[in-house]
Amino acid sequence: MIRMPAVAGRFYEANPELLKREIETYLKIREPREMVIGAVCPHAGYMYSGHVAGEVYGRIIVPDTVVIMGPNHTGLGQPAAIMASGVWQMPFGPVEIDEELARLILAESQVLEDDAQAHLYEHSLEVQVPFLQYLNPRVRIVPICLSMLSLPEIEDIGLATARAISQYGAPVLLVASTDMSHYVPHSVAKEKDMMAIQRILELDHVGLIEVVVREKISMCGVVPTAATLVAAKGLGARGGELVKYATSGEITGDFYQVVGYAGIIIR
């Protein structure tokens, strides 16, 4: 199956030359870049959150395979959907799914289902791909789209991903795609988001879920982020670093209703 772009021309430029310039505007390369286990990046339109994602991607080496976990905003498809085969047609050209790794993850999980429908119009994973492709034109992806799941289901997916990557035997980057607080005042977003970010930095997936529920933090990608933390710990991660935090208010000037964006590296 060939998946066509869902948000090219809206969240980011559809024209390859314009997209290249757009990414170069936001991508802040810092040498030497490093191989890391994972990253947490926002998925809003590039004009709002591209500068946060660019700070993260500018610090890391993108290997030939990247597992991207993101939330399901559309409600389509299965609640735990991995797209295990096919190609994503993107402005920079086609991006193949790493079918070998996808099948390994699928075989290890009791929860994930091979389902392309959940991915057809979902933007949260797609907006990561141009950055990855710019940095590594050979990149292949394993897209995993997740709705609200129970803690055991989240842990199943994370552990399955870690086991599969260990079997795979080649470098793999984990990317959790999430925005933070939605449509609250800037001061509220920053205060509450930092509570969630601290749990991410500590790789505390249970604590992350608990604080998001307790504080009513409208973090759309809490499930994929928690699953990514489980996978990262299974691969030996020891902690995270907050690279950049911002809100949409810093771009729009509207600080009454903002969306928060966090860029994090997991080592």
For the residues 117-146, what does the mean pLDDT come to? 98
pLDDT in tens, 84-95: 999 999 999 999
Number of domains within the chain:
1
For 240, the token pair is 């995270």
Q: Which domain holds residue 91?
A: 2-266
Q: What pLDDT score was predicted for residue 135?
A: 98
Over the stretch 185-233, which tens digit does the pLDDT of each residue have? Answer: 999 999 999 999 999 999 999 999 999 999 999 999 999 999 999 999 9
CATH number at residue 140: 3.40.830.10
Residue 100 banded pLDDT, cuts 50, 70, 90: very high
pTM beyond 0.75, yes or no: yes
Q: Give residue-wise pLDDT tens across range 26-75.
A: 999 999 999 999 999 999 999 999 999 999 999 999 999 999 999 999 99
Please state the rounded mean pLDDT for residues 136-158. 98
Work out the average pLDDT over 105-122. 98
* Three-state secondary structure of the chain: CEECCCCECCCECCCHHHHHHHHHHHCCCCCCCECCCEEEECCCCHHHHHHHHHHHHCCECCCCEEEEEEECCCCCCCCEEECCCCEEEECCEEEEECHHHHHHHHHHCCCCEECCHHHCCCHHHHCCHHHHHHHCCCCEEEEEEECCCCHHHHHHHHHHHHHHHHHHCCCEEEEEECCCCEEECHHHHHHHHHHHHHHHHCCCHHHHHHHHHHCCCCCCCHHHHHHHHHHHHHCCCCCEEEEEEEECHHHHCCCCCEEEEEEEEEC
User: How confident is the model at residue 118, as a pLDDT?
Assistant: 98
70 within 8 A of 177, measured Cβ to Cβ:
yes
Q: Tell me the pLDDT tens digit for each residue of 156-180.
A: 999 999 999 999 999 999 999 999 9
